[in-house]
Structure 1
């Protein structure tokens, strides 16, 4: 067996689709392609898939390819994908039908005979609405039916079948990137992580503008933290692909942000996609890999400092299991420089909690808010949750109502004191549509206001409750308009969210901050242009950049230390507070 170099802080896996595996039966092709990829990345493991698009790889080929990789010192695990193919536009298999179940059982048996571990790719969902499914659903909602169905398939068709063949098998369920919508197609974050030995995280965010999902860059980090908090110690790693991008920068950023969440393993999808083939003069084809070269540089670079970072943390945001509302808003807030940590368990021990609309799925949420405030905590509630809770907020917490009226605003001001008028008006670079909130004078106070033609609409309201403080934050109709808020307003919000943290940032949106519990942090710019920003450290601290080993000069201001920085496009810096 060959000795192989590995990364210090994580392992690297490559997922090989069934088509890749079939092609690997050609030993010459397998040798040359592996040599090319291995020039750039340090492979610890491959996932070998036996099934996708109704095509099963025969056992002899699987065993031959498995043996080859193991002879090179590369670990092997199995893989499967319940995917019908491109022509079906992500239509799932019909798991209601017995024929589907029997096919899956055969695939699982084959994997369990060959491997001691296999992973299920993130196409393991149910969106079929055939007549058989409609009949089986009966009076249940599609969400209810699919959650029950996929729990049954997970437990009785996949896990039970695999363990009958191989009692020691480890089965990993990979979750896709659409975490807000899992429950609508049968993914159950409350139940499935308890059934499977491990889970895995799809951190593919691709292009935020020109792909259908419009996922924000910050999600590659945040979804890792959500699934780590869902199954602590049982989130196997993050999975990236190079698809749906306009530039190669986006591929590198997805890898980098996944690593910022400190995963145990990174998986690159897929072996075949990593390769290109250049025709030679003799008619043969030489494999090359631009993608592997980019991945290798990012992996090496990030591995050089990951061990200097502590455990990731941020302002906790409670997202109950199988909930949705203000979908993916957390990532937009992350993109304005406010570090978050999504958790499916209400964070009773925290100082501050962010509650978006999805918290409405907890039937006891108002009581939890009250108890949190009584203990002296700070609750930041979005306008979406205010709208969802309606009368409960009015009756139990504060006289604030979400109306059906809108306002088109561009000017903003901050009220530092109720005794004096605001002294500055700050302007966004584009008009922003916001919902109008109505509140009772003296039961709540405006701290940030949007101005329009002699009138004003609250952006940030505050009220005291027992020993705590409740804030209500107005969210624009278009979440990305948060990026267009004036820098002064963004800084005010960052100071509020991060009031119990040692550091925060002043500057434009689209510069993200990642915090770690050993006083280290990362700033990452997603701006296409150079931008200046300030890092503010509370007290007398200084900061050191860890990659390039320099100390920015700072100055004192109001009991804080201010460090001015220039962020270059799509760049990042890693700091330690000393």
Structure 2
């Protein structure tokens, strides 16, 4: 790709914070830094922030910076970050106080006068517990109070003010990466996604082990798909940053998975964080160690993404304003099970995956029954059983989530005397009791001559209800033996043409034109089998065009694929 030329299948934007823009008052630094980034990354848009952390950029400076980028052929939009420093980490504005409501109104007014499109960075929430907030909350829960408060702020301060100033303005709300906790801090996803012109997705996952959130790599894909299903066609793109990572690979993986999810735009946060400074002949100059690598990733993705169809996977229903077994969907995705998060219960007769968060739908048991009776399969977790114990036992199967726990390393399948598979660590699982011959163990946890189900199933109507036992530590799922994981994957794959066999931490991404991607998050070379329904099939690698033959097994064609650490391969089934 010629430097400066736009990408064909997505576009790249760079977010410039208020602090970045203050620094851009130095026109020499602005010119030099722009050239450093543009040399490697063909970004065609910038978001110029007017307010962050009590820094309100002057109209004059915003206009000068805006003119600079537009003269370079780069589209400009506005940005607002509604937080101030103080307390523990980020502190939101306090929307119980007239002073802060007026401050927001002034910032929105100024920004709408300058731009026809404005994005709100992911601080449009409230975490204040001052005396005014405590009094205003009254007897309501913090969640209920904050949801109603932020709906009012969004509609009557943000949208109303912006449209009074600029009737043509398009408002975008960017959601953070903590999707299971939105409602706790006032993000009203259903309400806001309809109110705002567009939504945007925070696909930052950073380091999965040494950060407080412990977000799994797969979430850069799954949250993108979830918000696309919240507002089909209205999810503007994915947003990543280079922070909290041990290796550059972790940053690159976030970009890849955002684009695997078919993001229309990728925003890099932020301008200043993409740059470093070096001294040459005693003079400081901007440079970037990440931009060349990031630019190469975008070029590689642009060559690939146009060959893929629309993403699909096992639909996992997460109702609005729900939580429970938080972020478990992404651990399942890391097992090589393609997950398609959706805020609406699927109507098609396909496999549906339900975690504990589905309990927030008051009609969930009736929806499960109807789905099973019509021939769909449902996979529920032990956490769902615990949360809905009485309803599950009364209506579906009399399985009991007991108070017991079992520490296990060994596992067997339906015929326990045939093979026993071993984990490399001991895994603590809850003990579920079930009625003999009404439900059947498909995978058994073995411990000192005793055991309990890891996966069980029961017939219901024309479908099958599966129950998957989740370890106390979700990460222990990664330590299940490959043979056990293969059986678990099969429970999810009734409607899938393509199935992965092998260890955990290798993800599969499926598309509706018979293409798929494998991505390894392992630190060593690995091999997996890809089992595809049908005989006499071939695989064509999408980039090299190399063709591979497999072998036939039980009305499937099976291919062995090797993957390098932190790498991906993409194929078409022929």
Alignment deviations for residues 186-235 of structure 1 (CA, whole Å, 9 cap, x no partner): 01111110111000000000000111100000000000000000011100
How far did residue 537 of structure 1 move?
1.3
Corresponding position of 1:482: 477
* Residues in 2 aligned to 1:271 and 1:391: alpha-carbon distance in whole angstroms: 53
Corresponding position of 2:259: 259
- The within-5 A match list for 1:198-217 is 198-217=198-217
Alignment deviations for residues 261-283 of structure 1 (CA, whole Å, 9 cap, x no partner): 011100000001111110111x2
How far did residue 479 of structure 1 move?
0.6
Secondary structure, in 3 states, of the residue corresponding to 1:493? helix
* Residues in 1 aligned to 2:154 and 2:500: alpha-carbon distance in whole angstroms: 45
- The within-5 A match list for 1:150-169 is 150-169=150-169
Alignment deviations for residues 303-351 of structure 1 (CA, whole Å, 9 cap, x no partner): 1010100001100000000000000000000001000000000001141
Question: Cα RMSD over matched residues?
Answer: 1.1
Corresponding position of 1:562: 558
How far did residue 87 of structure 1 move?
6.7
Corresponding position of 2:22: 22
Alignment deviations for residues 23-55 of structure 1 (CA, whole Å, 9 cap, x no partner): 212221111110010010001100000100101
How far did residue 86 of structure 1 move?
7.1
* Residues in 2 aligned to 1:187 and 1:144: alpha-carbon distance in whole angstroms: 11
* Residues in 1 aligned to 2:86 and 2:486: alpha-carbon distance in whole angstroms: 45
Match of 1:511 among 506, 510, 513: 506
How far did residue 143 of structure 1 move?
0.3
How far did residue 575 of structure 1 move?
0.6
- The within-5 A match list for 1:5-404 is 5-85=5-85, 88-281=88-281, 283-404=282-403
Secondary structure, in 3 states, of the residue corresponding to 1:570? coil
Corresponding position of 1:575: 571
Alignment deviations for residues 396-454 of structure 1 (CA, whole Å, 9 cap, x no partner): 111111111100011101105xxxx5410001110100000011111111111111111
How far did residue 497 of structure 1 move?
0.8
* Residues in 2 aligned to 1:545 and 1:386: alpha-carbon distance in whole angstroms: 42
Q: Does the Cα contact within 8 Å between 1:415 and 1:422 map onto a contact in 2? A: no
Does the C-alpha gap of structure 1 residues 345 and 288 become closer, same or farther in structure 2, counting only changes over 3 Å?
same
How far did residue 134 of structure 1 move?
0.3
* Residues in 1 aligned to 2:193 and 2:349: alpha-carbon distance in whole angstroms: 25
Match of 1:466 among 461, 471, 491: 461
Secondary structure, in 3 states, of the residue corresponding to 1:563? strand
Q: Does the Cα contact within 8 Å between 2:311 and 2:509 map onto a contact in 1? A: yes
Q: Does the Cα contact within 8 Å between 1:552 and 1:564 map onto a contact in 2? A: no
Q: Does the Cα contact within 8 Å between 1:542 and 1:554 map onto a contact in 2? A: yes
Q: Does the Cα contact within 8 Å between 1:390 and 1:402 map onto a contact in 2? A: yes
Say if 2:517 is the partner of 1:522: yes
* Residues in 2 aligned to 1:501 and 1:193: alpha-carbon distance in whole angstroms: 30
Q: Does the Cα contact within 8 Å between 1:122 and 1:176 map onto a contact in 2? A: yes
Alignment deviations for residues 164-190 of structure 1 (CA, whole Å, 9 cap, x no partner): 000110000000000000000001111
* Residues in 2 aligned to 1:40 and 1:309: alpha-carbon distance in whole angstroms: 25
> Runs of at least 4 residues of structure 1 off by over 4 A?
none
Alignment deviations for residues 72-91 of structure 1 (CA, whole Å, 9 cap, x no partner): 11000000101213775112
Say if 2:562 is the partner of 1:547: no
* Residues in 1 aligned to 2:336 and 2:551: alpha-carbon distance in whole angstroms: 22
Corresponding position of 1:409: 408
Corresponding position of 2:448: 453
* Residues in 1 aligned to 2:565 and 2:354: alpha-carbon distance in whole angstroms: 32
Q: Does the Cα contact within 8 Å between 2:200 and 2:238 map onto a contact in 1? A: yes
How far did residue 553 of structure 1 move?
3.2
Alignment deviations for residues 482-506 of structure 1 (CA, whole Å, 9 cap, x no partner): 1000100101111221122111111
Corresponding position of 1:432: 427
Count the aligned residue pairs: 571
Structure 2 residue runs without a partner (length 5+)? none
Does the C-alpha gap of structure 1 residues 88 and 460 become closer, same or farther in structure 2, counting only changes over 3 Å?
closer
How far did residue 456 of structure 1 move?
1.4
* Residues in 2 aligned to 1:243 and 1:67: alpha-carbon distance in whole angstroms: 30
Say if 2:531 is the partner of 1:536: yes
TM-score w.r.t. the length of structure 2 is: 0.98
Alignment deviations for residues 106-154 of structure 1 (CA, whole Å, 9 cap, x no partner): 1101111010001000011111111110000000000000000111111
Structure 1 residue runs without a partner (length 5+)? none
* Residues in 2 aligned to 1:357 and 1:339: alpha-carbon distance in whole angstroms: 19
* Residues in 2 aligned to 1:293 and 1:188: alpha-carbon distance in whole angstroms: 38
* Residues in 2 aligned to 1:33 and 1:390: alpha-carbon distance in whole angstroms: 59
TM-score w.r.t. the length of structure 1 is: 0.97
* Residues in 1 aligned to 2:466 and 2:417: alpha-carbon distance in whole angstroms: 20
Secondary structure, in 3 states, of the residue corresponding to 1:518? coil
* Residues in 2 aligned to 1:4 and 1:59: alpha-carbon distance in whole angstroms: 28
* Residues in 2 aligned to 1:315 and 1:498: alpha-carbon distance in whole angstroms: 8
* Residues in 2 aligned to 1:87 and 1:388: alpha-carbon distance in whole angstroms: 34
Q: Does the Cα contact within 8 Å between 1:316 and 1:350 map onto a contact in 2? A: no
* Residues in 2 aligned to 1:567 and 1:202: alpha-carbon distance in whole angstroms: 28
